[in-house]
């Protein structure tokens, strides 16, 4: 018999002590020049040396599109196993593809404010773009809304029981005030497999 139950790989409780969950794979590195489709490497102005390992999958942080599987790493250059399938503009941020993502956030504290919410891609609500740039959404195109200004998620106290579902990389809640009033549960799912 079919079921409408959802299964999660894990959950993390956020509170006044642990106030954030970051599963973004964020390495704060961007391409130093434009990279054409078919290239076999990318170069950054910063070091990849301690941030990226052979076998890691690198993604374009803004679009969450696959760049390639890492074959080798030197200080500022990553070489891929195969030519890349996408073009990247100069200064495109990249990240290591994470094993898990946040698929549901459930508010369990009376005064819980979400200070930061970073989606996996622009098809989900957020307070910043997936590459951590300023949020810019086209509500009708991105969310199927008929009208709306595309403003970022509000940073007001959310009611206990409020649930936000989607695909998120990072969430931060306010940890000031009465400790028991600031809490949320983040439910995790494995990210889709990329070959």
DSSP string, 124-166: S--SB-TTSSB----HHHHH--SS---PPPP-SPBPTT-EEEE
Query: Which tens digits make up the pLDDT trace of 15-60?
Result: 888 889 999 888 989 999 999 999 999 999 889 889 999 999 999 9
Q: What is the pLDDT of residue 32?
A: 92
Query: Which tens digits make up the pLDDT trace of 68-84?
Result: 999 999 999 999 999 99
Length of the chain: 195
**Number of C-beta neighbours around residue 114 at 10 A:** 24
**Number of C-beta neighbours around residue 110 at 10 A:** 15
Query: Structure pTM?
Result: 0.76
Query: Which tens digits make up the pLDDT trace of 141-158?
Result: 555 444 445 555 555 678
- Residue spans of the domains in the chain: they are 10-24+99-190, 26-96
Query: Which tens digits make up the pLDDT trace of 111-129?
Result: 888 888 888 876 677 777 7
- What percent of the chain is predicted at pLDDT more than 90? 44
The contacts of residue 122 (CB under 8 Å, 6+ apart) are 62, 129, 130, 137, 142
């Amino acid at each position: 018999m079919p079921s409408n139950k959802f299964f999660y790989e894990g959950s993390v409780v956020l509170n006044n002590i642990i106030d954030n969950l970051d599963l973004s794979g964020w390495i704060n590195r961007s391409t130093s020049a434009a990279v054409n489709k078919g290239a076999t490497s990318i170069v950054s102005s910063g070091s990849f040396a301690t941030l990226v390992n052979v076998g890691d999958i690198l993604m374009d942080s803004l679009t969450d599109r696959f760049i390639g599987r890492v074959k080798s790493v030197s200080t500022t250059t990553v070489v891929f196993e195969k030519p890349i399938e996408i073009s990247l503009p100069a200064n495109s941020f990249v990240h290591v593809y994470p094993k898990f993502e946040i698929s549901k956030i459930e508010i369990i504290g009376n005064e819980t404010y979400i200070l930061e919410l970073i989606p996996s891609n622009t098809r989900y609500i957020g307070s910043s773009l997936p590459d951590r740039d300023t949020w810019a959404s086209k509500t009708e195109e991105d969310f199927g809304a008929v009208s709306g200004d595309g403003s970022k998620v509000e940073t007001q106290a959310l009611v206990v029981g409020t649930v936000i579902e989607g695909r998120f990389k990072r969430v931060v809640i306010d940890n000031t005030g009465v400790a028991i009033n600031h809490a949320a549960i983040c439910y995790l799912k494995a990210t889709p497999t990329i070959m």
